[in-house]
Amino acid sequence: MTTNFAPELHTTEIVIPTYTTLNEFDTKSHSYNKMQLINICKHYNINRVGKKIALINGIKTHITQLHFVSIIQRWWRRKIICICNELRGPAKFNRSLCINSTDFYSFDDIRTIDFNLFFSYKEDTDGKIYGFDIASFNELYKKSSSYIILNPYTRIQINEDVISRFNRLLCIMSASNGHVLTEETPSEVVENFITVEQRASVVFQTIDALGYYTNCSWFLNLSREDLIYFIRHLFDIWNYRAEMSNQLRYEIHPQGNPFVQNGFMINMVNYSFISNTEIKEMLLDIIVKLVSSGIDDNRKYIGASYVLSALTLVSEDAAEALPWLYESVV
């Protein structure tokens, strides 16, 4: 009597099976000798003890499980990517939506920040969108003295939902080995995250978006004396010269008196104890309130008109560019 058996495959004919070749492996598995099956088990780092049939079944089970695990992993990675993209904010795919052209901390061009290191959010008050390097926003978060985080451009409090979204993005990226903070944090404590010049540029872009054509140099080139006159003229226009009703004042700045900071009325008399930069920062705080807090764009435009009217009284360039506003207050 003769016995039919399949010839064993030579070692050179052995190909490590995958899910796409699993059927072929199943067909030829009886042709593998035990050592060849053990080598395949070594490749997949699975149990190498047992009879041939046990090794074959173990290989097939492992390859099938790997296939479905890879499907789940791909699905999960896509899910994580979608979640992270949503958390990155409205400017993730279009940096031109950001009103700031550079990162406030690194000064890098917003357009050149790596996609994986980009974060943006939209202000509730005026709908403006700001973009950041994640590492820079994290510095802002860490160096805030309280739970109140302020937008470095407008000094308006950043909504808690934005902070929550940022923290969630940070956690996901850290958990997925995203290496969010790839550069060492500067050892020195950075007192000001953004220069007066940068902030002024953003503020005057906000005014331009309301319908004016301005130049932030009108403000930045003011002497100390003119800065003091500017704030006094603006105070006078807001409280007296414009003859506004209380209702209109509320509609321009619903949060109250724009000349109140940290619960105290701004000192309109003595400025000897503060620097020029501090005066500019104080003025920018007031300007932001008047041009960004209105209940609608019309009220924001009116607020901007009062700001520019006061500016024409101390800047010749502003007066030449906006003669109708100058004439309305002289």
Question: How far is it, in rounded angstroms, from Cα 127 to Cα 109?
Answer: 21
Band of residue 60 on the pLDDT scale cut at 50, 70, 90: confident
Closest to 180 (Cα-Cα) out of 169, 191, 188, 164: 169
Model pLDDT, residue 13: 58
**Rounded-to-integer distance, Cα 203 and Cα 277, Å:** 16
Q: What is the dihedral of CA 249, 251, 252, 254, to 10 degrees?
A: 90
H/E element, 268: none
Task: Of 46, 44, 39, 30, give the one whose Cα is nearest residue 12.
Answer: 39
Report the pLDDT averaged over residues 45-50: 84
Tell me the per-residue pLDDT of 75-128, one tens digit each, with 9 for 90 and over.
877 888 888 889 999 999 999 999 999 998 888 899 999 998 999 999 988 889
How many angstroms from the chain centroid is the CA of residue 276? 31
pLDDT at 10 over 80: no
Q: Per the confidence metrics, is the pTM higher than 0.75?
A: no
> Which tokens sit at 57?
């079944």
> E-assigned strands of 180-280?
260-261, 264-265
